[in-house]
Structure 1
Amino acid sequence: MQTITKLKMLRNTVDGLRAGGARIALVPTMGALHEGHLTLVRAARAAADHVVVSIFVNPTQFGEGEDLDAYPRQLAADSALLEAEDVSAIWAPAPEEVYPQGYATNVSVAGVSSGLCGDDRPGHFDGVATVVCKLFNQVRPDCAFFGEKDWQQLAVIRRMSRDLDLTLPHVDAVHGVPTVREEDGLAMSSRNAYLSKEQRAAAGTLPRAMQAAIAAMKSGVAAAGALKELEDTLLTSGFESIDYAELRDADTIELANEASENTRLFLAARIGGTRLIDNMPAALNV
């Protein structure tokens, strides 16, 4: 396994891996890897001959006052995990390698980037779309894998890939992989490490409250009432605030007033200064 920090070396390495028609899968990450990331790597290995994992804490997707400086960086530990998963290469560039002096281009995806985290984190999805577009052009993979925990992000990347014709010839599939959860149901996230022992125990309320809200809607409770009960449960369980608890169309991310055949429940809540996000299918037939 190689760890690559310069674009020229990356392209030479990828060209070598591709020799003979081998397929290459990309797993973009910001490091601080956990079982959720490794699940993406395993899915990628099942779909391709070689896996390239990018580890890059992308500054353009962090807003003012967010945790860019505090975001965990542990390349040595991440490398050991990826080597055990038979990854072919790690792409770990410095910020100036990705955004050289004079950089002036931005990718913005309308529609699916509106609402939810798009409203709460202005500019976030521009940063995501820009860096993923660059990663696709840098690695030129045949397929790429992303976690469904960041469902809106996945929708943004799929829309960008279609609109900019990135799906062929270099990226023929943007795959979503189901959310990996802890034993108590909390979605795995690098930010879970920020939680104290007490906060972590309280955080387990989040997926249970979401499941209860979905069950209530399926039993005939109006969405507004189920969502209000969800918010009240979290606020009495140790969460300081709720950024959003909403039903949205799974494909367009448009707001939905009631659960239907293609809706998901989206939630973002803060506990101890840490912002946790999650989403679950709320389709009536699921």
Structure 2
Amino acid sequence: MQTLHSLDPLRRAVAALRQSPDGPKTVALVPTMGALHEGHLTLVREARKQADHVVVSIFVNPLQFGANEDLDKYPRQLERDCALLEAEGVDLVWAPTVEAMYPQGFATNISVTGVSDGLCGASRPGHFDGVATVVCKLFHQVLPDVALFGEKDWQQLAVIRRMARDLDLTSPHADAVLGVATVREEDGLAMSSRNAYLTAEQRLQAVTLPMAMKVAIAGIRNGDPVAACIGHLKDALLAGGFSSVDYAELRDADSLAPLDSRGTAPMRLLVAARIGTTRLIDNMAVLPE
């Protein structure tokens, strides 16, 4: 497995992966910010099913962190991450420096409106501009045939698919931006690098999030008023140890348009809440009957 930090060697290495006497090989990209856990490794395993070769990027992207967010303390564990990826059969790790990704004078920003409105787009201004900008660069740098993202960041997935469609990114095009189901701990908490910030007590309390979401979804499926179900969800989080709720909303699964009643199209319940200093997000499908 190669680990590369600058662009020209990356492009040569990806070109070499594609070459074969039997014809061109395909490449899958799994973008990450490192601090890898089983959720990331699940993406890697799915990527190996989708393509001949797998490239994983590890880059803590400063553009998607706000002024008072956790950029400085976000875990950076490149040696450990590379060992995990090599064990999974990854061919190449692209771990650019900030200077390589954003050279002096960098002045371009990609903004995707609509699907980025509200939810994390409201509570983290500029976040999705940073996500779209870095992912667009990664697509152009690696030119993958397919890219894989976790469904835990559902709004992020919608933003990236919209960007790929709008900018005619054929490597990969929108249909080649694949979502992989959220990987959860045994108690139901969605796996996240930020779970490491939780104290032992907070970790026990955090399971309130998926539990309360399941109760709300059951109520919505049963025909109970959406506002009441979400109100009960928020109350359960605050009673269970969360300090605040950034949002809890029912949205159309594809357009992310807000919904105030149960519909017949696929729906998603999306929640972000804070426990101590840690912000956790989750989402679950609300399947129509």
| Band the TM-score falls in, shorter-chain normalisation | over 0.9
When the two structures are superposed, what TM-score results if normalisation uses the length of structure 2?
0.97
* SS of residue paired to 2:185: coil
Deviation at 1:284, TM superposition (A): 2.1
CA contact under 8 A between 2:184 and 2:190: conserved in structure 1?
Answer: yes
Match in the other structure for 1:266: 270
Match in the other structure for 1:106: 109
Match in the other structure for 1:61: 64
Question: What is the distance in 1 between the residues matched to 2:274 and 2:172?
Answer: 38
Are positions 1:233 and 2:239 aligned together?
no
Match in the other structure for 2:287: 283
Aligned counterparts, 1:4-43, within 5 A: 4-20=4-20, 21-43=24-46
In structure 1, the gaps of 5 or more residues are: none
Question: What is the distance in 2 between the residues matched to 1:226 and 1:154?
Answer: 26
Output the amino acid matched with 1:18: R
* SS of residue paired to 2:19: helix
Question: What is the distance in 2 between the residues matched to 1:87 and 1:217?
Answer: 42
* SS of residue paired to 1:149: coil
Deviation at 1:282, TM superposition (A): 1.3
CA contact under 8 A between 2:272 and 2:280: conserved in structure 1?
Answer: yes
Question: What is the distance in 1 between the residues matched to 2:238 and 2:261?
Answer: 23
Q: What CA deviation, in whole Å up to 9, does each residue of 1:168-188 have, x standing for no partner?
A: 255460000000000010000
Question: What is the distance in 2 between the residues matched to 1:58 and 1:119?
Answer: 19
* SS of residue paired to 2:153: helix
Match in the other structure for 1:221: 224
CA contact under 8 A between 2:139 and 2:171: conserved in structure 1?
Answer: no
Match in the other structure for 1:206: 209
Which of 159, 165, 178 matches 2:168?
A: 165
Change in Cα spacing, 1:169 to 1:32, as seen in structure 2 (3 Å) is: closer
Q: What CA deviation, in whole Å up to 9, does each residue of 1:200-232 have, x standing for no partner?
A: 000011001000000011112100100000000
Q: Which runs of 4+ in 1 moved over 6 A?
A: none
Are positions 1:149 and 2:167 aligned together?
no
Deviation at 1:283, TM superposition (A): 2.8
Deviation at 1:259, TM superposition (A): 2.3
In structure 2, the gaps of 5 or more residues are: none
* SS of residue paired to 2:89: coil
Change in Cα spacing, 1:106 to 1:270, as seen in structure 2 (3 Å) is: same
CA contact under 8 A between 1:259 and 1:283: conserved in structure 2?
Answer: no
Output the amino acid matched with 1:230: L
Which of 74, 79, 95 matches 2:77?
A: 74
Aligned residue pairs, count: 284
Match in the other structure for 1:123: 126
Change in Cα spacing, 1:185 to 1:11, as seen in structure 2 (3 Å) is: same
